[in-house]
Amino acid sequence: MNTDATGDLWADWLLHKRHADDPEYGRAVLAATTGYADRVLDGARLAAGMTLLDVGAGDGLVGLRAIERIGASLRVWMADRSMPLLRAARARADAAGVEAQCAFLCCPADALAPVAAATVDALTTRAALAYVADKAAALAEFHRVLKPGGRLSIGEPVFQDEALAANALRAAAAAQPAGAADELLPLLHRWKAAQFPDEPAAIGADPLVNFSERDLLNLVHAAGFRRIHLELHIDVSDGAVTSWPVFLGSSPHPLAPALGEILAARFAPREREYFEGILRPIVESGGAMHTDRIVYINAVKPDG
């Protein structure tokens, strides 16, 4: 059991639950997320002497990576809604000897009140907008704080297909005749429906899943940005997790319970035994395929 839980769901997921406190899997997650951060920073086109605002900074990955790339002249402001995560980011910056280059701002993406208008050269955000209900308000804030000619660079997971898959499982399970031999289908639905909304109305109301990459592009354009470039990266890979305890203990996003929690709360003992008997060999053999869908958008706030 994790003894370092903060009680803050964002910090507890990012620092612990994302990788189930498993050091080996944690290193794999860090390698992957560093790659995502680098793509976001490529889009920001940072240069010496600039000020970067990283929104949804988490434990400081993007901001500290930017300092590694640019050096001592870069000023980095890290904004996050989670004070425990900002404390973690500050500790990482201190350990790296770059805290003097950093500022730490506790505020949500759609209310960047500590940042004055037209004061930053570049703004990055990675895996933060997906959790913001009013994305238009957040993008208006991004536009406000950027200097004319400043660059926006976004990297966001797109979870809409996960919700649509949960909805398809719901429909398939409901269509089974009474007494059908396939016991697995309703159990798969129960698992996925605990992590993603599975009905059209709920999907439309949930900011995590109610947008596509094209919706995000349209929001960026409507906020006043121009010279917009979008890339959708879809990567299908063999299962990165081959440990059953790690598979049980990790979750796909901060708002989702881990599979182990779902099995304990929503499955009867016989159902858990049956489900594990089928799924565990697949996981441990590396056959649990994983799909990442990430949209990268970079754009410019026009001069004048």
**Could you state, in order of their start, the residue ranges of all structural domains in the chain?**
9-158+211-238+291-300, 161-198+240-284
| H-run or E-run covering 185 | helix 184-193
- In the CATH hierarchy, which fold is given to the domain comprising 9-158+211-238+291-300? Rossmann fold (3.40.50)
**Residues in the chain where the model's pLDDT stays below 50:** 1-3
- Residue 164: which residues within 8 A CB-CB, separation 6 or more? 203
Residue type at position 187 = L
**pLDDT, tens only, 199-237:** 999 999 999 999 999 999 999 999 999 999 999 999 999
d(CA 112, CA 223): 15
User: Whole-prediction pTM value?
Assistant: 0.94
- Dist CA 162 CA 251 (whole Å): 13
Q: What is the pLDDT of residue 179?
A: 67
Helix (H) or strand (E) holding 170: helix 160-175
